[in-house]
Chain A
């Protein structure tokens, strides 16, 4: 510490009062707090917790043990149709959760579980303990003492993490025991009680977590960081000073190395100038230059054209992708419309199946009719092409074309990662296509028919499918990450 302080005098060891200008500058500057994988994992986890607690509460129906009121249990039952659907859903989500965390644990064991988790997320130091006391007193308005400096996660978060890291394995193991009936009834009984206890304790902590994040004003930037991955520097300085300091030190070290390299190439001794300049301002500039990618400025010239007219026109003519929330909402409305107008949901893979069936029927009618699979489509009494999904998929193609044309994005290109050849891209696309077609037939539906349409009507199988898609996607993305970056 001492040597570092000596080396980097510009970074204070303890929080110092900031000038309004400094504060303003820091408030404007976003620094990265969370890796995108962590964000994804967080929201996956949050979804799982929501679904599992909601269904689990309805699953325990014994008047002796239940804690959810009867009306709630009935309501959830009704939502799922039968209690066994409810249980299957609970199990499917739980298994996906375990699977994802197993992958996370396996591939990120050293990075995340050992180093990061222990040091940053669990271990409490003296400041942390002090923080806990001050925090409580401040909450109750009994103290104005400033909060002791905190690292990446504050002491409250750490405490909660400690509970979560010790109880989550209990939940997972006891859940597996109940699902797969491991052990004698005595063990299963112990398992269900332990499952309940662990969830209960975490939920009581989860309430603080959710309140702090979503309701408590001071922590708002932390909440948003769970979407953007970034917090403003001022927040980091005030709430996670230790982490801010580490961040700055790291940044400075890099900068010096770079400057040294720069100086060497240019034969100038420019290193000293930086050291004597206005630290904050310079660091901000340099920081932007070196560590943060610049904002995308593409298509700046076209902007005026696209920004004219009504919002709808603007949206349609926009060269950029819609925000995913808007797109998702729109897709939901489309699905709803499909259910209302056509009486069935959206799909994709069965269109291909039907085209193949029609083709086979035309080329080799007898063989196709004899096949138990194809025969089903050919034996409907009309062409296999007379089907909503067939036309829907044609519509999707036309719609996609129109959308691209409106947005001025029509272009012949091979969409691929920067590092791979066209040939590899084609091979991968072919393999992936085959796999997804085969998988879609196993599942009797693809991401459209099963996950989207089925998921929307809360079919247990569809949710299992969806969880499996996420889990497998997570694993597959890791293996193929080099093909896209």
Chain B
């Protein structure tokens, strides 16, 4: 088994966007969308005392992924190696998972109308290659590997160099993308890109809280009614009803 993880060194990353484009080309992500995004916290402060940090985001392949449960069809699932993937065949494009993701790492692909997101380049991993973004990263700021392998670089970066997860007390779902950076960078990023609470769209609330009980009640009631009638029929014998 494996527990794949990524470490992103914000100190080294210079926001060159190579990762985004490599990924977009590898996976045919349509223009305007991305599986891995480069962003900035924006300049904060008052000139000339200003600070800013770069930020790179993608699916965190969380230990406890909030996107898996609300997927009605089971298209989103977590593999035994921790990778959260989407079975495109099963996806109907309802976007429950998009709303659920605290990191906004998912989008609906406007060409297929199905959900898309980073899967740590599973297909490349199978060929023994690194994820496209890691392989092309001009700054060597992205590291990928298996956290259960004590000799791996990511293990060293997480457990020796103290790469941090981006989570809050409220939203702690065990993201597996870790960040290195200066204290200031990590603070800026935490303030700007902290995970949000998973959202359940209205339709989902209706479904689970109104429709599902209602259908259960309706089916249950007719079933009960039938059962009563059936036993009544058994009790009184069929003759009564026969002509």
Contacts and interface: CB of A to CB of B under 8 A. Distances in A.
Interface of A: 23, 27, 59-65, 67, 83-84, 87-88, 139-141, 178-179, 181, 184-186, 188-193, 196-197, 200-201, 203-205, 207-208, 211, 215-218, 234-235, 238
Interface string B29-71: 0000000000000000000000000000000000000000111
B114 interface: yes
A142 to B, nearest CB: 11
A83 B203 contact: no
B191 interface: no
A64 B69 contact: yes
B194 interface: no
Contact of B73 (A87, A139, A235, A238): A87
Interface in B205-226: 206-208, 211-212, 214-216, 218-219, 221-223, 225-226
Interface string B181-210: 000000000000000000001011011100
A238 B211 contact: no
Contacts of B94: 178, 185, 188-189, 191-192
Interface string B71-82: 111100000000
Contact of A238 (B214, B216, B243): B243
A203 B219 contact: yes
A183 to B, nearest CB: 9
A362 to B, nearest CB: 44
A207 B72 CA distance: 25
A84 B230 contact: no
A65 B208 CA distance: 6
Contacts of A184: 108
B233 A59 contact: no
A207 B69 contact: no
A189 B222 contact: no
Nearest to B203: A189
Interface of B: 69-74, 87, 89-90, 92-96, 98, 108, 112-114, 201, 203-204, 206-208, 211-212, 214-216, 218-219, 221-223, 225-226, 228-230, 232-233, 236, 238, 241-243
Given A63-B69, A197-B211, A217 B241 contact: yes
B201 to A, nearest CB: 6
Contact of B212 (A27, A65, A140, A234): A65
A306 B73 CA distance: 57
B87 A193 contact: no
Contacts of A186: 95, 201, 203
A185 B98 contact: yes
A370 to B, nearest CB: 35
Contact of B204 (A189, A191, A205): A189
B72 A62 contact: yes
Contacts of A207: 219, 222-223, 226
B203 A190 contact: yes
Nearest to B114: A181
7 cross-chain pairs, A with B, having the tightest CB-CB distances, nearest first: A185-B95, A200-B215, A181-B113, A84-B89, A189-B203, A61-B74, A204-B218
A141 B236 contact: yes
Nearest to A185: B95
Given A200-B215, A204-B219, 4 more contacts: A67-B212, A83-B89, A207-B223, A238-B243
24 contacts: A27-B243, A61-B71, A63-B69, A83-B73, A83-B87, A84-B87, A178-B94, A181-B93, A181-B114, A184-B108, A185-B95, A190-B203, A196-B211, A197-B211, A197-B214, A197-B215, A203-B215, A204-B218, A204-B221, A205-B222, A207-B219, A207-B223, A208-B222, A218-B242
Contacts of A192: 72, 92, 94, 203, 207
A208 B229 CA distance: 11
B87 A67 contact: no
A189 B241 contact: no
A174 to B, nearest CB: 10
A102 to B, nearest CB: 22
A215 B225 CA distance: 14
